[in-house]
Structure 1
Amino acid sequence: MTEPPVTPDGRYIVVRGRLWRRANPHLPAVERQALVARLMDARRAVGRALKADDAPALAAARAEVHRAKVGLGERGPVWWQDGAPDQNRRMVGNTDYAAWHAALDCA
């Protein structure tokens, strides 16, 4: 599997033409590892809840996924300090990264 393109500033990856915010690279390794483990546990809980058709468990598991992603910096307040706006989940062609991405496709 090839890695998705990463924007030059390291803030986003591009998946199927859409920007997705990357985890905060400044998190200490131990904290990041704990948050990733928490995220994976929560994703497994989502799967179990879906399989069991358990709406309350599904809501709780999805809330835990969200909390882990906020902790990682993939959601919630941005982790960079330069005042640049968050362009998470936007189509790359409609963002400041459009020219960069177009140049990738030509390479």
Structure 2
Amino acid sequence: MNARDEPQRTPDGHHIVIDGRKWRATDPSLPEDVAARLRHHLMAARRAVRAATTADDASAERSARARVRHAKIALGERGTPWWEQSPDQRRRRWEEHLAKLDADAPDQQDG
């Protein structure tokens, strides 16, 4: 990805700006392999939300939205701002939520 593809960042680096809207930036301390796994979980969960809403399956939608929430928190995009957390708190945040996502991933379920 080159610099032109990167979203604009606020001067403090805490947010990105897309189409004039500020969004919390992903925690820059995440190891790239972890960030990639979290993005994979996030996109899979978003697809599951869409499938559940299309199927009018409220239970599946709740489950998928919970997975989206876990991914966003692990990425540092929701919950306590990553810049207000110690390095240990940041690591614990993504490790705990990634473990939950790995355990709950539909492709990890028996059946």
* TM-score, structure 1 as length reference: 0.68
The separation in 1 between residues aligned to 2:32 and 2:18, in whole angstroms, is 25
Which residue number in structure 2 is paired with residue 34 of structure 1? Answer: 37
Q: Report the RMSD for the aligned CA atoms in angstroms.
A: 1.9
Task: Provide, for residues 38-90 of structure 1, a one-character-per-residue CA deviation record: whole Å limited to 9, x for no partner.
Answer: 001100100110110101101110110000000000001111149xxxxxxxx
The separation in 1 between residues aligned to 2:81 and 2:57, in whole angstroms, is 33
Q: Percent identity?
A: 51
1:67 corresponds to which of 65, 70, 87: 70
The separation in 1 between residues aligned to 2:54 and 2:44, in whole angstroms, is 15
| Structure showing greater relative contact order (alpha-carbon pairs closer than 8 Å, 6 or more residues apart) | 1
1:49 maps to a residue whose letter is A
The separation in 1 between residues aligned to 2:62 and 2:35, in whole angstroms, is 24
2:10 maps to a residue whose letter is T
What is the CA-CA distance between 1:9 and the residue it aligns to? 1.6
1:56 corresponds to which of 52, 56, 59: 59
1:61 maps to a residue whose letter is A
The separation in 2 between residues aligned to 1:25 and 1:55, in whole angstroms, is 34
* TM-score, structure 2 as length reference: 0.66
The separation in 1 between residues aligned to 2:25 and 2:69, in whole angstroms, is 14
2:50 corresponds to which of 47, 50, 60: 47
The separation in 2 between residues aligned to 1:77 and 1:3, in whole angstroms, is 24
The unaligned stretches of length 5 or more in structure 2 are 86-111
